A and B are shown apart, each in its own frame.
Chain A
Amino acid sequence: MKLQIKQFIAATAFSLTGLFAAAQNADQIFKAAGSPANPKVAISWNRYYDHAGITEICKKIAAAHPELAKLQSIGKSFKGRDIWCLTITDFKKGNADQKPGMYIDGNIHSNEVQGAEFSLYTAWYLTESFKDTRFIKELLADKVFYIVPTINPDGRDSYFHEPNTGSSPRSGVLPVDNDRDGLVDEDGYDDLDGDNEVLLMRRKNPNGRLRVDPSDPRRMIQVGPDEKGDYEMLGLEGKDNDGDGVVNEDGYTFQYDPNRDWGWGWQPNYIQNGAYKYPFSLAETRAVMDFVMKHPNIAGAQSYHNAGGMILRGPGDPTDQVTYNPQDIQVYDIIARKGEELIPGYRYLVVHKDLYPAYGGELDWFYGGRGIYTYSNELWTPFLFFNKEATRNPQDNTNFNFDTYLLFKDAFVDWHEYDHPQYGKIEIGGFKKNFGRAHPGFLLESDAHRNMAFTIYHAYHTPLLKVDTITEKDLGNGLKEVTAVISNSRIMPTHSSHDLKHKIERPDYISISGVKAIAGMIVENADLNITTEQTSNPEKIEIANIPGLATVTVSWVVQGSGKYTISVDSKKGGVAKK
């Protein structure tokens, strides 16, 4: 027994050193504005973490801040990895799951990795800034954040640890017979040169339409319409594995699209490429759905993708305009316009018209299915190369310049020769998978901070309810009229307009206790005394909605003279009493 205790102490001591070893002596540090100066958990925000790395960071944050962060697994991936969720709030103030909630996730597409770091940065920043930033302290008293860094851990690890391009894999790893021939993943990319990258193949060809850029030998450029080139491109690194005359036609990199597996406007795969069997037929999306269904307090949501510098709202379905009604679009617009201001280079866009039609996407279910105001940010934009307009167009050489002068050519694998079984003598080269869609290291923290600031603005404007004023009027005969004004001091209503239309969430309750309520009514106009009486259960008045930046007024005729309490109870607006 003694031995066990000793071991336990030793283990605890070890883990504590592990946690805090990186923290500096406070004397050595001068605080930079707006950043945690001497965090309990030291994390480098200029690199990426695989699932084991994320797991460790989540555990460290939860261990270092037990009163601010709790870690839970909301389900398992197809391969059995935990899908971690950090609940961040001031657990000493109120019931966490009754506070208006902000849900944040990342990495639904395997290669769109930085959403996990952006989410983790948010969890880290909130917990580490709580102590000395009053705004964060108040925010965590009022709100709760549910942060799920990766909802696709299998795909994430596969992107890092298997040979891939910056754009693959997009899906998770559940195998699917896409070409319906009975064989699964029989001809994917091949890492011919064994560097864990899937690069480009080029071949000298006197009739090619490309040549080497004389100002940068790494870069291929199109020759003019009347010029002769000397190279041809042969596509992504690979060979014809199954001898059917086609290269790379059936790999594991696109089995299905997890962002087409959600329960609003879902369509089958012949309409929406990538759809699986039915909404939530994938383990990962099902875990998120289960979590959201159990947390009706989630009022705002954010999902992180890459790339392109976009703040996206739905609808993804061009025929679904009716769901996104004008009142809700107003809320969407206010928050997203602020986002454009906070994150230079990012534009506020609508999925179906500015991007492409997409049925059964995550943001559409959050809003259409649950009435939650939700954005997807496409992280990283070439604007960030030199803080001016640039494109991802292959004819735009900004990326080469950036790699040359700021990354010192670390992002590019130089062309090198290879003997290909089908193509003969070829050359392999190109940008590494960590460049083009993922942030370069030194820009990661700064953009994470800006995107976090946007989600904090979003979270801040989930409803904040307060029992504002209570007035009494004596009606004689031992009766009095009690009138209460309930305010919502933030932009979001307790029910989005879409929610109200379908009664997705129950009404808000405004209750009086401690005295006997003889009658209860909703006051439409206090000055002109226009009211609507609620004849049953007068002590608990049901209010369909408490609009943003507005008040509602209720009144009761009560009997008795004791002390009484007036409380408001809203699923998405939280609870308050007086």
Chain B
Amino acid sequence: MMKRVSAYLLCILCYNSITAQTGYSNFAQQTNRINALAKANPQWVKVKSLTKTNGGKDIRQITISSGNTETKPAIAVIGGVEGNAPLSTELTIGFAEQLMQGIATDSIKNLLNKTTFYIFPNMSPDAMEQYFASLRYERQGNAVATDDDRDGNSNEDDYDDLDGNGKITWMRIESPVGTHRVHPNDPRVLIRADISKGEKGTYLVFTEGTDNDKDGSFNEDGEGGVWFNKNLTFKHPSFSQGSGEFPASEKETRALLDELFDRFNVYAVISFSSNNNLSTPYSFNAQAATAPILAGWLMPDTKVNSMVSELYNKTIGLKDAPASSVSGGDFLSWGYYHYGRFSFSTPGWWVPKTKPDTAKNEKAFTVEDVTANYLRWASQQNISNVFTEWKTIQHPDFPNQKVEVGGVDPFALNTPPYSLVADLVKKHSSFLLKLAAAQPELDIINVQIEKLANGLTRVTLDVINKSALPSHSKLGERSYWVKRINVKVNNNSSQSIISGKKIQLLNALEGYSSKQLSWLIKGSGKLTIEAGSPTTGTKTIEVTL
């Protein structure tokens, strides 16, 4: 009995403290952490479900703010953009937890009085559960049945765990017409043979499995589904695996888009995915940025990307990020091109470049390879059990041939050991806070009131953006999903505007910039002038004529 009670207490503790977390959270654990956070901080944290996936899992939104959340400029933070990246969900839930751990401090309280965070921890809950499943493989597709090879049958040729170790790795077949050869510095690793350099392959390499439907391809149509990060509307890769039959075909995609399109106060979108414009910002490409179908960031927006990227690199301190490119249908591109907001993404972690350990007689690699680099790093970090040694099996599709199963573990290359996660959460939270500190903010200054004659007054003032980030992206000026800065003169019936506009809409104000406005007003007494937009907040001044 005593034992049971203490187990119960322990359980409560682990809900309330991230330090008790010992590994990545599966969907049930994510749910518990989110609910615990909302329960403990009802004043600051609101949780709602946007929709349920076909796999029956809620797509959750955590709103962290205070008072009227929609009138504060906001940052949207998105995890689970790719279902094979549990780190992305840890970073988002971890950020929410960090905020609430600091809620007693004035700095966090002040921040949440002027900023709203919309956090979407996991856009791929169906796929992410595969990390925790008895058969582990890197999955991105949701639970919608898809015909990945478009042959009229769905899910007819999935992976097979041939060596029964609970993970899908690789299989290699000895062949005189092989495509791969053994890495010269690490015999466990296979690399592609380059015929143009006179290299000869000795192995054919496939993912682990059999040709279940006897169509000559391996594992080409397994379970699941549509990939969130291929289902968005910018350059949708229609008819490719995981894209969905058309852009935004999935309910989780539509649920997020519908929600964000209604949140006019969002000025920046931060997502955690393999796409990366935080380590290295986009550079300006004049041709792409002036094409009829816009395909490059506008010049002023690339400058903002550089600024935010510098902030990121300084805060996170990770170097040598692998090159990344977007391939269409991705969330990072959607955030900018189709949502019109500043959109940034980072994987959050990558395997550092290793140096040979001379004590162990290691030499510099003669061929750079991500798997070889990972295995060297893992060994230097004393991380074991991440490689399955090649082992010969009997394979029905290759009778009388030597087939071996083995290779590096799924997830290993993009998912850090859990011991590193707490530090990554801390650093990324710190980055998000610094970004929020730079959020656009309007002010009205240099108000001049000149009495001309006979009750006629000229009012002149500067509407300024007193922060580093622009009020809107330059592209946002063109999108009708972005509300412009509205300057209104609230005069009474005895006051009339002789010159100047009662209502006028302004374009984006860059960081630290101003716009001068003036009016000729007839009448006397007081009136107010207000300037504002959802991404900047509103400033009102009173003028006495």
Binding site for B on A (CB under 8 A): 176-182, 243-244, 263-264, 266-271, 277-281, 289, 293, 318-319, 365, 368-369, 502-504, 506-507, 535-536, 542
Find out whether the CB atom of B247 lies under 8 angstroms from the CB atom of A278: yes
Complex-state Cα separation, A180 to B340, whole angstroms = 14
Find out whether the CB atom of B239 lies under 8 angstroms from the CB atom of A280: no
Complex-state Cα separation, A177 to B149, whole angstroms = 43
> Which single residue of chain A is at the shortest CB-CB distance from B151?
A506
Find out whether the CB atom of A177 lies under 8 angstroms from the CB atom of B238: no
Find out whether the CB atom of A278 lies under 8 angstroms from the CB atom of B248: yes
Find out whether the CB atom of B233 lies under 8 angstroms from the CB atom of A182: no
Find out whether the CB atom of A264 lies under 8 angstroms from the CB atom of B246: yes
Question: Which one of B292, B340, B475, B503 contacts A181 once the chains associate, using CB atoms below 8 Å?
Answer: B503
Find out whether the CB atom of A263 lies under 8 angstroms from the CB atom of B478: no
Q: Which of B33-41, B59-67, B393-401, B482-490 contacts A (4 or more CB under 8 A)?
A: B482-490
Q: Which of B44-52, B105-113, B254-262, B380-388 contacts A (4 or more CB under 8 A)?
A: B254-262
Residues of A within 8 A of B238 (CB): 264, 368-369, 502
Find out whether the CB atom of B246 lies under 8 angstroms from the CB atom of A279: yes
7 contacts between A and B (CB under 8 A): A182-B483, A263-B247, A278-B257, A279-B247, A502-B239, A536-B215, A542-B151
> Which single residue of chain B is at the shortest CB-CB distance from A507?
B152
Complex-state Cα separation, A133 to B482, whole angstroms = 58
Find out whether the CB atom of B246 lies under 8 angstroms from the CB atom of A277: no
B120 at interface by CB-CB < 8 Å = no
Find out whether the CB atom of B233 lies under 8 angstroms from the CB atom of A293: no
Whole-angstrom distance from the CB of A114 to the nearest CB of chain B?
Answer: 30
Known: A263-B246, A369-B245, A502-B239. A278 touches B505 (CB 8 A): no
Complex-state Cα separation, A479 to B147, whole angstroms = 36
Find out whether the CB atom of B337 lies under 8 angstroms from the CB atom of A268: yes
Binding site for A on B (CB under 8 A): 147, 149-152, 213-215, 233, 236, 238-239, 245-249, 254, 257-258, 261, 292-294, 337-338, 340, 475, 478-484, 486, 501-503, 505
Complex-state Cα separation, A503 to B238, whole angstroms = 11
Find out whether the CB atom of A365 lies under 8 angstroms from the CB atom of B246: yes
Complex-state Cα separation, A84 to B484, whole angstroms = 40
Complex-state Cα separation, A268 to B293, whole angstroms = 10
Find out whether the CB atom of B484 lies under 8 angstroms from the CB atom of A181: yes
Complex-state Cα separation, A507 to B153, whole angstroms = 11
Whole-angstrom distance from the CB of A78 to the nearest CB of chain B?
Answer: 14
Known: A268-B337, A502-B238, A502-B239. A535 touches B214 (CB 8 A): yes
Whole-angstrom distance from the CB of B454 to the nearest CB of chain A?
Answer: 24
> Which single residue of chain A is at the shortest CB-CB distance from B213?
A536
Residues of A within 8 A of B246 (CB): 263-264, 279-280, 289, 365, 369
Complex-state Cα separation, A507 to B151, whole angstroms = 7
Whole-angstrom distance from the CB of A134 to the nearest CB of chain B?
Answer: 36
Residues of A within 8 A of B479 (CB): 268-270
Complex-state Cα separation, A279 to B261, whole angstroms = 14
Whole-angstrom distance from the CB of B237 to the nearest CB of chain A?
Answer: 11
> Which single residue of chain B is at the shortest CB-CB distance from A268?
B338
Residues of B within 8 A of A502 (CB): 150, 238-239
Find out whether the CB atom of A180 lies under 8 angstroms from the CB atom of B233: no
Complex-state Cα separation, A267 to B257, whole angstroms = 15
Find out whether the CB atom of B233 lies under 8 angstroms from the CB atom of A279: yes
Complex-state Cα separation, A284 to B112, whole angstroms = 40
> Which single residue of chain B is at the shortest CB-CB distance from A278?
B248
Residues of B within 8 A of A535 (CB): 214
Question: Which one of B239, B257, B294, B338 contacts A503 once the chains associate, using CB atoms below 8 Å?
Answer: B239
> Which single residue of chain B is at the shortest CB-CB distance from A256?
B480
Residues of B within 8 A of A318 (CB): 292
| New A-B contacts (13) at CB < 8 Å, excluding given A181-B486, A279-B233, A503-B149 | A177-B483, A180-B483, A181-B505, A263-B249, A268-B337, A270-B294, A278-B248, A279-B248, A280-B246, A293-B245, A319-B292, A536-B213, A542-B151
Complex-state Cα separation, A365 to B236, whole angstroms = 13
Find out whether the CB atom of A504 lies under 8 angstroms from the CB atom of B247: no
Residues of B within 8 A of A503 (CB): 149-151, 239
Most buried by A among B147, B149, B480, B484: B480
